[in-house]
């Protein structure tokens, strides 16, 4: 498996965030991109958090 550089990891994280299938925290763990960076580039998570019902 090839390793991704920083820009590629960020692009992957943004695509995953926009798909709405994973939380920003899950994406951060998978890609190594900081959760706040994902939020900055992809906007708020479409998934409901603990405080939202």
User: Could you tell me if residue 49 is inside a domain?
Assistant: no
Look at 1 and 25; give whichever has higher pLDDT. Answer: 25
User: Could you tell me if residue 26 is inside a domain?
Assistant: yes
Radius of gyration of the chain (CA): 11
Question: Phi and psi of 17, rounded to 5°?
Answer: -65, -40
Domain total for the chain?
1
Residues 11-51: pLDDT tens digits? 999 999 999 899 999 999 999 999 999 999 988 776 666 55
User: Could you tell me if residue 31 is inside a domain?
Assistant: yes
DSSP H/E element including 44: none
User: Could you tell me if residue 28 is inside a domain?
Assistant: yes
CB 22 within 8 A of CB 28: no
DSSP 45: -
User: Could you tell me if residue 23 is inside a domain?
Assistant: yes
Which residues form the domain of 31?
Answer: 6-42
User: Could you tell me if residue 11 is inside a domain?
Assistant: yes
- Residue 15 sits at the vertex; the CA angle it makes with 32 and 41, to the nearest 5 degrees, is 70
User: Could you tell me if residue 50 is inside a domain?
Assistant: no
């Amino acid at each position: 498996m090839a390793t991704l550089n920083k820009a590629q990891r960020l692009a992957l994280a943004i695509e995953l965030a926009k798909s709405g299938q994973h939380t920003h925290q899950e994406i951060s763990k998978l890609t190594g991109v900081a959760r706040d960076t994902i939020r900055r580039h992809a906007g708020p998570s479409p998934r409901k958090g603990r405080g939202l019902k």
